[in-house]
Structure formats: C-alpha cells, structure tokens
Amino acid sequence: MILTVTLNTALDITYRVRSLRPHTSHRVTEVVERPGGKGLNVARVLAALGHEVTVTGFTGGATGRTVQAQLTAVPGLVDALVPVTGATRRTIAVVDERSGDTTQLNEPGPTVTAAEWSAFQEAYEDLVPSVSAVALCGSLPPGVPVGAYAALIRAAKAAGVPVLLDTSGEALRRGVAARPDIVKPNADELAELTGSHDPLRATQDARRRGARAVVASLGRSGLLAATPEGRWRATPPAPVHGNPTGAGDAAVAGLLSALVENLPWPDRLTRATALSAATVTARTAGDFDHATYEDLLARVTVTGEVSAA
C-alpha cells in the first residue's frame, strides 16, 4: 500500500472553449470534474498502474463531499481524508481548443485550525507504519504550519518508510532539510530552492541541502536526476504538446511505483517520463492513455552515468 498526502485537496474542473479571448463571453463545449490536488492526482495514476493506494489530507464542505463521492469510483483507492470545517477548494482549467493552451485558476483552500492539524498528524502517524512509501504533495492550505512537510517526513523516516516530497517555496526548503528520500521539483521550484538556474548544478545543490535524490521536471525536455547511484537525464522521443496539468503528478506516480517495485533508477525515470508525456497528450487534465504510455515507454531515452561511490 502506498500513501499519498494532499493537504490542499481540490475539485478540479476543466472547461473547454473554442478559443479563449480576454474581455469576452465564452460558450463552454465540455465540462469535466474530478478529485484533484497533487496527491490525489498521484493516487489516481498509481491506482491505474495497479497499485493499492490510500489517500489522506483534508476535506470539507459540499466540494469536499463531491471529491469523496468521486473517489469511491476509483478501484484500489482507500479514502482516509480528514474532515475540516472549511470548504475544499476548486481549481479551474480553461482549455483553448484552437491553440491547445490551458489557463489555470487555483483557489487558496480552507483555513485549517490548530486542532484540525493535530487531528491530521495523529491520523497520519497511525497510517504510516502500514504503508510501503509516502508521497507528500502540493501546497499548504492556510493555517497549516510552513514546516508541516518536514514534520511528516521525520515521522515517516522514524517508521522506516521512504518519502517523496513534491512541493514548493518555503515548504520545500524546510522539507528538504528533513532529508526526504526523493524530491521532485520543477525547474522553477529548483531554481528558487538553490538560487541556481543551471539544472545540473541545482540538483546537486538540493542533494547537499538534505534530499537523498532529486528528480527535476524540465518540461518538454524530460527529467534530470541526481541520486546516490548516479546522474541521469530522461527525455521523451519528441516534444509533446497538450495540457501539462497533472504531468508532474504522473511523474511522481511513476517514480513512487518504481521505487516500491525496487526498479533501478534508469527504469524509474523511463516510467516517470513516459507517464508524464502521456498525461500531457490526454484529452482530460490529469488523465493518461495506457496505449500512449506503453508506446512512449519503449521510446524514452535515458542517458547518464553510474556513481563510483
């Protein structure tokens, strides 16, 4: 069982319009709703790959009830979300059908009280000993301490459970110092963390700050990894075009599933890159097509070197 943590869950709503233009009204051609927030996106991909997964985090209000109702339809997924009095946020993705571009609007999320945060920590510490890996994903809702992920990393490591961290800003900075097994920033998050815009230098710097392994998403250029076993770059067979929403979460699912399957790093990166690219090309944000994934899996290129240490 894999555990994913989404402290700022969401109901993701995708609108499709013929062409998005400022200062005008638009007729929506299609609306899709689904549970969202980075950890829930990761969990959905893990379940599609055949892994049993438990989701936890916060949920509240009518939006939260909608999220939980939709989660019951996902085979292999267990709902362990913790209730709060505030309402779960919504995220709005507007897809321009003519250009393929996406405009994203993200609400901040409910304010979490100190008592609600304590209740979550207790629930999390009860779950961790029974899982094979933990993914800590996404932004922190208002009221949650900025060092929240650092505390959750320490609790997982005390139980001997590997942890992957995917967040940004100060939450990432403090989380890295708690020594997670894998950190998965994008290029901008990595530069903000390290002050370097050279991905090769920045991934090594992030390791020195505490992360055991760093896998950076470089958009259409694929993934760059710095690990104790070596450094690798994984690239899709050609630049992919479409909606990037959820692509990073699919990469996290690929890394985490391969971790619990004890695959070597080049295979982990191959899977993560293929899943990420297949998600970009999918019609619905955060989804992926299995046939596209299998095709890409055979054509991802991984280059690099194994560490002598």
Q: Is residue 249 flagged as an active site residue?
A: yes
Which is it for strands 28-36 and 53-59: parallel, antiparallel or unpaired? Answer: unpaired
Q: Which of 12, 166, 205, 249 is catalytic?
A: 249
Structure token digits, residue 272: 């993560």
Strand partners, 166: 137
Asked if 239 contacts 220 with a C-beta cutoff of 8 angstroms, the reply is yes
Distance of alpha carbon 296 from alpha carbon 176, whole angstroms: 31
Distance of alpha carbon 285 from alpha carbon 247, whole angstroms: 9
Asked if 3 contacts 128 with a C-beta cutoff of 8 angstroms, the reply is yes
Q: Per-residue b/e over 50-76, b at no fewer than 16 CB within 10 Å?
A: ebebbbbbbbbbebbebbbeebeebee
SS3 274: helix
Structure token digits, residue 112: 């979490």
Residues classed as catalytic: 249
